[in-house]
Structure 1
Amino acid sequence: MTDTKTKKQNALRSAAAWREARALMWHHRRYLGIGLALMVVSRLAGIVPAASSKYLIDEVVGKGRSSLLLPLAGAVLAATLVQGVTSFAVSQVISVTAQHAITSMRRRVQRHITRLPIPYFDNTQVGVLVSRVMTDAEGIRNLVGTGIVQLVGGVFTAALALAALLYLNWQLTVAIVVVLAAFSAAMTITFKRLRPVFRERGEINAQVVGRLTETLGGIRVVKAYGTERREQRVFTKGAHRLFRNIAQSITGVSAVGSFAILVIGLVSVALILVGGRALLDGQMTMGDLFAYVFFTGLLAAPVVQVASISTQVSEAFAGLDRIREVLEMKTEDQEDHDRGAVGHLRGHVRLEEVWYEYNPGEPVLKGIDLDAPPGTTTALVGSSGSGKSTLVSLVMAFNRPTQGRVLVDGRDLAQLRLADYRAQLGVVLQENFLFDGTVAENIRFARPDATRADVENVARIANADDFIRAFPQGYDTIVGERGIKLSGGQRQRIAIARALLADPRILILDEATSSLDSESEYKIQEGLRRLREGRTSFVIAHRLSTIRSADQILVLEQGTVVERGSHAQLMALGGRYRELHDRQYAFEHDRFINPGEDFTPDADFTAASTAS
């Protein structure tokens, strides 16, 4: 049953890959047509030297017709020139077309991947996605490039040579065709078995690249914990898996190459035995035999060449299989197709009986109700794992409720176009991602058309202007990958400036000050206050001092809201919030009266929250 299911899946994948290949070739049909036409001219020119050998032996040498020498030499020279020019033209036209197709495919896959839902990225390594975009797309050059043209050209040349061979000696040709047919059958079986190997190679390569990307991206953590050897072992294991796969494919391809040599040997034996007997019996002239040998080469060479090209084409199909798996996944744009336009948001957010599960039967949020009127600030506090980040991910539409609804301005978020909605969202996270560009480019990320004056204005509001101007290149300073050249506080203030420039209607602050020291936090509090003005804000904070001015505070524990109200109301209630507040205050007071001890409010508060 399992084998039948696997065969059916393989058949479906093959059919999908063939459809994609046909679509690619049809899209580039103009240049492929030009390339094939040039190839036909080139291959026809290649027939001239073989055909001229018969006249050279029988007419010039055998009958002494020296007057034919110059015409024959001229014909061969002209054919050679035509073949050289057309071969160059084919290479230029087809190779450029192939690179254009690769670029288009990469753009298509990258565009598709970036619009996939967030849960897909949560379960897929970055390196795997990079491999899909860059490596798998590379193989299609053999479908719209020299590979397919050489394949068609080989078949065309073989057909011409076969016709000439049948004319010269059909009995000998039948024997040769039988040998070549056996070779073709062997190739078909071999490449049918090699295709899964090529497909697995792409998957292994993606896994190895994925882990390598993670290791290099987290090299500071690797070095901090001294786990270089462990990462080396993991990489070595993956590299050996890739080596074994490549070795297996090399064995198969080498077997085909060896069989091709055997076939050529068998053809040579047939030529000697059958051709020699026909020459002795007067059934063939010496010129016929020479021409026959040339045409046999023209027939056998493409067949052997097809073996090599078939390997490349099989690899290309394996890459298309993997690409199709990604392209068949439904994107957020496709889901948006039937949804309504958003328009300008007031920012009224409501959650009605919202449940959410990452894993079936394990709810992370349980019946959450929340009402955040426009322009208000809602703070979320609680122990780690209580569901705070999950709740804001629902507000950002990164995830969808398992039950219940998220309403924005009275409309179900599930019915709104995500692109329109997220254009009015702003996010400042605990670990904000900065791109490897200038400070100015990172601030204007959401608004590339913003002027330098706009950028500098929001930087001043975020208390970032002073340290930016202190850099030698100022706003043109390169921040490095993930902003590695900046401190945590500097990255955070640039992220706040970026959110200010985006001018969102709904703002998410996910522990936006937890990575800052007290001085840096103090500097950006005013920036955060200005950022929240007139916007519906959701704030996740461990430092309770940062949320005292919130319009409402929700205390979450194990996916439920256990308390809600203002800071004063919750303090007066004397419940969970008061307990968290007093514990944090005690830690901060202890730090104040014992300045020589190390103290990290976030870590201490988290520990206290978890212990409670």
Structure 2
Amino acid sequence: MVPPTAATKKRKYDSKRAWGEARALILKHKRSVSIGLVLMLISRSSSFVLPYSTKYVLDDVLPKQDLRLLGMVALVGLATTVVQVLTGFALSQVVSVAAQQAIAQLREEVQGHLIRLPVRYFDSTKSGVLVSRVMSDPEGIRNLIGTGLIQLTGGILSAIGAMAVLIYLNWKLTLATVLPLAIFGVGMSIAFKRLRPIFRERSVIQAEVTGRLTETLGGIRLIKVYTAEDREKAVFGKGVQRLFENIAKTITGTSLTGTLGLAVVGVIGVIVMYVGGGDVMRGTMTLGSLLTFVIFIGMVTAPLISIASIGTQITEAFAGLDRIRELRDMATEDQEDATKAAVPSVVGRVEFDQVHFEYEPGVPVLKAVSFTAPAGTTTALVGSSGSGKSTMISLIMAFAQPQQGHIKVDGTPVSELKLRDYRRHLGVVMQDNFLFDGTVKENIAFTKPGATDDEIVQVAKIANAHEFISQFPQGYDTIVGERGVKLSGGQRQRVAIARAILADPRVLILDEATSSLDSESEHLIQEGLRRLRAGRTTFVIAHRLSTITSADQILVLEHGEIVERGAHQALIALGGRYRDLYNRQFQREQDQFINPGEEIAATG
């Protein structure tokens, strides 16, 4: 489902901070904004000439039958029209390009900040929400750097200028039209105040719906296997309905402001017709002045009506900036590491000292775990599902920190090291290997940008990947598809192993690194991994215990505690939990080898 989040319910829109963010953004692009404002002033000023010349033509030129003067007025009107056209075009070019540049820069900054946040943030936030923060929220700033803010400023200035002309033409009639305009202004103020939180909520809902859609597409095979299409459609439909209801509210609000504007225009028109017409009949106002007054009334009301639309867009932009600021206020790993020690080199001695860890308060995952992995040794982690093996690996990679105890590398707690420096000495092959949608070569070279073709081929051979890669028509330039979907599970793992080998890490983590390989490929890769492990501190989680018999130490975990530790032969001789696991797995593999049909029937 796509329920309202706690943030949606509790967090209030911070208008002061949003204004501060908008001000900083405008100052950053002040050159383009200043040029835009100048062009706007020229365009708006020139727009006054032709309407006001109407009064001059009707009251002075036509009564005198002066064709020469009429031609001059027409030329002036034409010239100001040309100025309007040119400045309008230049305005759109300058500010639109500047707005798109600002959007691109903001997206880069937000993405750069986002990917440096701690892993715990990604564990608790939907990917669709994060995509919306990077791609959708910056879009609104085009209404600040682009034409929106300039049009708003121009509309206000035009209205003020036109109001001055109206007062000059007939101040009594002008005063009669002020009351409807004041009512319109108050109405827009109330509308903006109520629309602002609705616009903010819309982006949150849209991000949640997008996140669910992303999950659905990513798990399409699972959905089809369990014929869950209708369920997923229903879940997505609920989210879309919430989005529709939100949009309907904003449509209603903006429609009301537009309707109010039309009503104001109608009321003002009636006032001008009745009062102005009476003044003309009494001779206190010329016909030219009345017609000019009508034109300038339009120049007052039209900008005010457009302000309703522009103001809504700017309100939406402020909401997006507020959400972006909320994200950028979160401390990145680099900021958290600012005062921590640099890690120029790693020998590889890893130590757990009374480590306690829990994801949820009161539900311990690791309990007083202590062990030492000397530099250059291999430590295997064994235990049933949920015993804490993957959590230990996560702690070694510094994706999380223990609530109690310390994890030390070369005698220094990981919590005191700069994580970017420390992770440069890590290599990892996970159970679920992630490949980018690029070539095989690009995926292997991901850990060492600029690696030569010879280096890539060499590590591919160690990982037993060179043979199948060479059989592709494009070889190492073969596109692997999103998440490596065009490769088999075993092929993806071999590419991931080659990628880890190329990193030349001091601490190597193998989390079910050979789980998707057949026995023959696994044997070949194990030989390569043995050479890779030489001189490196290695942690191995293996589903086949036969692959870890050469480990320097094996830690047997149950319910977050180490219940046995030692080398393979010593644990077998101990006759405890490890021997039980090993014998059971050995017997199962023997049964599969002798009569695979029975095994299939038993598990089917």
TM-score (norm 1): 0.95
Give the counterpart letter for 1:410 in structure 2. Answer: G
**Cα distance in 1 for residues equivalent to 2:596 and 2:223:** 32
Is the partner of 1:366 in helix, strand or coil? strand
Mapping for residues 227-306 of structure 1, pairs under 5 Å: 227-306=228-307
Mapping for residues 390-539 of structure 1, pairs under 5 Å: 390-539=391-540
**Cα distance in 1 for residues equivalent to 2:550 and 2:504:** 21
**Cα distance in 2 for residues equivalent to 1:519 and 1:251:** 67
CA 453–8 in structure 1, closer or farther in 2 if over 3 Å, else same: closer
Deviation of 1:599 after TM superposition, in Å, equals 5.6
**Cα distance in 2 for residues equivalent to 1:48 and 1:585:** 95
Deviation of 1:7 after TM superposition, in Å, equals 12
Deviation of 1:8 after TM superposition, in Å, equals 10
**Cα distance in 2 for residues equivalent to 1:193 and 1:97:** 30
Deviation of 1:523 after TM superposition, in Å, equals 2.5
**Cα distance in 1 for residues equivalent to 2:443 and 2:600:** 32
Is the contact between residue 380 and residue 555 of structure 1 (CA under 8 Å) also seen in structure 2?
Answer: yes
Is the partner of 1:509 in helix, strand or coil? strand
CA 224–291 in structure 1, closer or farther in 2 if over 3 Å, else same: same
Post-superposition Cα deviations, 1:53-87, rounded to whole Å, max 9, x if no partner, equal 11110012233233211111111100000000000
> Identity of paired residues, percent?
60
Is the partner of 1:472 in helix, strand or coil? coil
Deviation of 1:315 after TM superposition, in Å, equals 1.1
Deviation of 1:6 after TM superposition, in Å, equals 11
Partner of 2:143: 142
Q: Which range moves more in the overlay, 174-183 or 398-407?
A: 174-183
Deviation of 1:519 after TM superposition, in Å, equals 2.4
Is the contact between residue 439 and residue 479 of structure 2 (CA under 8 Å) also seen in structure 1?
Answer: yes
Is the partner of 2:12 in helix, strand or coil? helix
Deviation of 1:294 after TM superposition, in Å, equals 1.3
Post-superposition Cα deviations, 1:488-541, rounded to whole Å, max 9, x if no partner, equal 111001001000111111111111112222222123111221221211111111
**Cα distance in 1 for residues equivalent to 2:600 and 2:480:** 29
Post-superposition Cα deviations, 1:218-254, rounded to whole Å, max 9, x if no partner, equal 1111111111111111111111111111111101111
**Cα distance in 2 for residues equivalent to 1:8 and 1:434:** 38
Is the contact between residue 496 and residue 527 of structure 1 (CA under 8 Å) also seen in structure 2?
Answer: no
Deviation of 1:360 after TM superposition, in Å, equals 1.0
**Cα distance in 1 for residues equivalent to 2:155 and 2:302:** 8
Is the partner of 2:356 in helix, strand or coil? strand
Deviation of 1:212 after TM superposition, in Å, equals 0.4
1:209 and 2:246 aligned: no
Give the counterpart letter for 1:393 in structure 2. Answer: S
CA 331–129 in structure 1, closer or farther in 2 if over 3 Å, else same: same
Is the contact between residue 33 and residue 145 of structure 2 (CA under 8 Å) also seen in structure 1?
Answer: yes
Partner of 1:10: 12
| Number of equivalent positions | 598
Q: Which range moves more in the overlay, 518-527 or 540-549?
A: 518-527
CA 195–48 in structure 1, closer or farther in 2 if over 3 Å, else same: same
Give the counterpart letter for 2:31 in structure 1. Answer: R
Is the contact between residue 470 and residue 476 of structure 2 (CA under 8 Å) also seen in structure 1?
Answer: yes
Is the contact between residue 8 and residue 204 of structure 2 (CA under 8 Å) also seen in structure 1?
Answer: no
Give the counterpart letter for 1:465 in structure 2. Answer: H
Give the counterpart letter for 1:283 in structure 2. Answer: T
Deviation of 1:598 after TM superposition, in Å, equals 4.6
Is the partner of 1:139 in helix, strand or coil? helix
Partner of 1:58: 59
TM-score (norm 2): 0.97
Is the partner of 1:352 in helix, strand or coil? strand
**Cα distance in 1 for residues equivalent to 2:528 and 2:73:** 88
- Alpha-carbon RMSD across the aligned residues, in angstroms, is 1.7
1:585 and 2:586 aligned: yes
Is the partner of 2:446 in helix, strand or coil? coil
1:566 and 2:548 aligned: no
Is the contact between residue 464 and residue 521 of structure 2 (CA under 8 Å) also seen in structure 1?
Answer: no
1:367 and 2:371 aligned: no
Give the counterpart letter for 1:561 in structure 2. Answer: I
**Cα distance in 2 for residues equivalent to 1:9 and 1:164:** 46
**Cα distance in 2 for residues equivalent to 1:531 and 1:432:** 19
CA 425–573 in structure 1, closer or farther in 2 if over 3 Å, else same: same
**Cα distance in 1 for residues equivalent to 2:11 and 2:414:** 36
**Cα distance in 2 for residues equivalent to 1:592 and 1:270:** 98
Is the contact between residue 432 and residue 491 of structure 1 (CA under 8 Å) also seen in structure 2?
Answer: yes
Deviation of 1:281 after TM superposition, in Å, equals 2.0
Is the partner of 1:115 in helix, strand or coil? coil
Partner of 1:189: 190
Is the contact between residue 42 and residue 82 of structure 1 (CA under 8 Å) also seen in structure 2?
Answer: yes
Give the counterpart letter for 1:30 in structure 2. Answer: R
